[in-house]
């Protein structure tokens, strides 16, 4: 495997804007992407993911750092001299050109012969399932077709890195699922490197080989989807992938294990080995690993007593909001066949095995959250 894209130490600050958009001080972001890999940049809006993509595409010059594509330094090369092509969020199809001419545009710019333009653009259109529609006007295409057209246009040039800026954001759920599969298939068939910007963690998981979770202009973690869910590094990552409830309190770390005490409960679990020794820690209670019972509490560790505040049946699970005795709210899921606890007002006991309680680095600002518990997201 060879490295298709290498970003090192990138930082960017926009004029007239508070704080840097990407990186901070001399501490920019760095990552490498293998050829043929689908690499997702995941994060909330304002985290710097689109800025990173625009730097790779050549639309923004970084204040510091370098971008290498296929081993060549392209940091200051204009977009038209880079082996990258972009699928824009708004598609940016040329309204004055028909579908075929839109897709052939890049080939025309490079001076390809007319016959080659036609051949390769119809090939690209067939690849995305729009074969034979060359003479359609852009305004006659549906939203999903426009999305495919933008994809075909970007692929027709045979880029070595394809940049996707929230490409599926405007599609409805069914179509989005379908396009996710098709994009993965296309990546495999063309062996192109994909950089995919999204704020949808499910989409990133479904598609990406590796995910970079971004937070306030920094990369919080780069991992495969499985590793990300199993071993989130920080509270930010855990919160963004909606893993479960974050609990804060006084912690004591002992190698790969840690213990937390807060408002009458005790939690024990494993610590991410990569977390530095003296970092602040917080516990994450993954929602799917919660054991629910209505029996009497035993007073053991990893146990919280509470009442069901709200229950939402999602088809596969009951998503429960449980209020603990200390008054905090916790997000848990229960299997769909656990009927007896899924009622509002029911007293329940929540337990976790020590293997499921994760201790992650607390990357939140100190003043945030006076309550030790924090439901990741009330669903």
Partner 1 sequence: MRSSVDSLPMKIIADDRPNPSQKPPKRRKKLATDLESPIFSLPALAVIVVGVFVPMAVLIVYSLWPTVDQEVVREWTFTNYLRFFESKVYWGTLLRSLLFASLASALTVILTFPFAYFVALKVQPERRLIWVLIAVVPFFTSYLIRVFAWMTLLGDTGLLNQGLMYVGLIESPLWLLGLNSSGIVLTFVYLLFPLAFLTAFIALERTNPTILEAAADLGARPWQGLIYVTLPVARTGIMGGFVFSTITILGDYVTPQLIGGTDGYLYSNIIQRQFGSSVQWGFGSALALILLVIVFVLLLVLRQVTGGAAQVGTFSRQFNPSSSPVLKAYAIAFLAFLYTPIGLLLVLALNDNTSIGFPFNGVTLRWFAAILSDPLLLESLRNSLIVAFASVSISVVLGTVAAVQLARSYGQWRQASLAIISVPLFLPPMLLGLAIIIGLNALGIERGLWTIITGHTILWLPVVTLLVLIRLEGLDPNLELAAMDLGAPPVTALARVSVPQALPGIVAAALISFALSMDEFILTALVTGADSTLPLYIFGQLRFNVTPAVVALSVTLLLVSFALLVMGALLATRGKGGPPVPAPNAIQNVSQ
- Does 56 bind partner 1 (CB under 8 A)? Our answer is no
Q: Does 274 bind partner 1 (CB under 8 A)?
A: no
- Ranges within 308-367 binding partner 1 (CB under 8 A): none
- Stretch of residues binding partner 1 (CB under 8 A), selected from 53-61, 185-193, 219-227, 360-368: 53-61
In angstroms, the CA 192 to CA 245 distance is 38
Shortest distance, position 221 Cβ to partner 1, whole Å: 19
Confirm or reject binding of residue 60 to partner 1 (CB under 8 A). Answer: yes
- Work out which of 57, 100, 144, 225 binds partner 1, going by CB under 8 A: 57
Options 56, 138, 285, 358; binder of partner 1; rule CB under 8 A: 138
In 3D space, the residue among 150, 219, 232, 160 whose CA is nearest the CA of residue 183 turns out to be 150
Give the residue among 217, 350, 225 at the shortest CA–CA distance from 288.
Answer: 350
95 binds partner 1 (CB under 8 A): yes
Taking residues 12 to 41 in sequence order and writing x for each that binds partner 1 by CB under 8 A, - otherwise, the string is --x-xxx--x--------------------
367: CB partners within 8 A, 6+ apart: none
Contact 11, 22 (CB under 8 A): yes
Are the C-beta atoms of residues 289 and 296 closer than 8 Å to each other?
no
Contact between 91 and partner 1 (CB under 8 A)? yes
CB of 148 to partner 1, least distance (A): 13
Q: Spell out the SS3 assignment of 213-272.
A: EEECCEEEEEECHHHHHHCCCEHHHHHHCCCEEEECCEEEEECCEEEEEECCEEEEEEEC
Closer of 94 and 256 to partner 1 (Cβ): 94
The pair of three-digit structure tokens given for residue 330, joined into one six-digit string: 């916790």
Tell me the per-residue interface mask from 152 to 191 with partner 1, x by CB under 8 A, - otherwise. Answer: -xx--x------------x---------------------
CA distances from 324 to 21, 264, 302, 306, 333 (A): 39, 11, 13, 4, 15
CB 73, min distance to partner 1, A:
19
Distance CA 116, CA 85 (A): 19
Choices 9-17, 118-126, 267-275, 302-310; region in contact with partner 1 by CB under 8 A: 9-17
The owner of tokens 């229950």 is: 311
Q: Encoding tokens for residue 367?
A: 């003043």
Contact region for partner 1 (CB under 8 A) — 81-89, 184-192, 203-211, 337-345? 81-89
Q: Which stretch binds partner 1 (CB under 8 A): 134-142, 296-304, 328-336, 371-379?
A: 134-142
**Contact in structure between 170 and 15 (CB atoms under 8 Å):** no
Site for partner 1, rule CB under 8 A: 14, 16-18, 21, 45-51, 54, 57-60, 78-80, 84-86, 88, 90-97, 105-106, 108-110, 137-139, 143, 146, 153-154, 157, 170
């Amino acid at each position: 495997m060879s490295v298709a894209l290498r970003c090192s130490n990138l930082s960017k600050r926009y004029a007239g804007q508070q704080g840097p958009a990407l990186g901070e001080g001399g501490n920019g972001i760095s990552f490498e992407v293998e050829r043929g890999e689908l690499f997702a940049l995941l994060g909330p809006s304002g985290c710097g993911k689109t800025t990173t993509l625009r730097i790779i595409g050549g639309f923004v010059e970084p204040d510091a750092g370098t971008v290498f594509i296929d081993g060549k330094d392209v940091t200051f090369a204009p977009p038209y001299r880079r082996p990258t092509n972009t699928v824009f969020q708004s598609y940016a199809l040329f309204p004055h050109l028909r579908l075929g001419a839109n897709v052939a545009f890049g080939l025309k710019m490079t001076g390809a012969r007319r016959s080659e333009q036609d051949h390769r653009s119809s090939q690209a259109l067939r690849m995305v399932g729009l074969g034979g529609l060359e003479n359609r006007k852009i305004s006659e295409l549906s939203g999903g077709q426009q999305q495919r057209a933008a994809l075909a246009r970007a692929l027709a040039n045979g880029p070595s890195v394809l940049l996707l800026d929230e490409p599926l954001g405007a599609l409805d759920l069914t179509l989005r699922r379908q396009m996710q599969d098709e994009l993965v298939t296309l990546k495999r068939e063309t062996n192109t490197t994909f950089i995919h910007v999204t704020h949808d963690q499910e989409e990133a998981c479904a598609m990406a080989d590796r995910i970079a979770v971004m937070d306030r202009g920094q990369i919080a973690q780069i991992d495969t989807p499985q590793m990300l869910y199993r071993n989130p590094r920080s509270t930010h990552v855990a919160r963004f992938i909606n893993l479960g409830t974050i609990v804060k309190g006084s912690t004591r770390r002992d190698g790969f294990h840690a213990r937390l005490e807060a408002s009458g409960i005790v939690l024990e679990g494993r610590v991410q080995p990569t977390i530095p020794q003296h970092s602040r820690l917080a516990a994450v209670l993954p929602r799917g690993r919660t054991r629910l019972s209505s029996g009497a509490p035993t007073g053991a560790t990893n146990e919280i007593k509470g009442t069901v505040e709200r229950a939402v049946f999602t088809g596969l699970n009951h998503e429960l909001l449980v209020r603990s005795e200390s008054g905090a709210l916790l997000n848990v899921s229960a299997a769909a066949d656990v009927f007896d606890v899924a009622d509002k007002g029911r007293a329940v006991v929540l337990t976790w095995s020590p293997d499921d309680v994760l201790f992650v680095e607390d990357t939140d600002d100190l003043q945030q959250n006076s309550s030790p518990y924090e439901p990741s997201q009330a669903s």
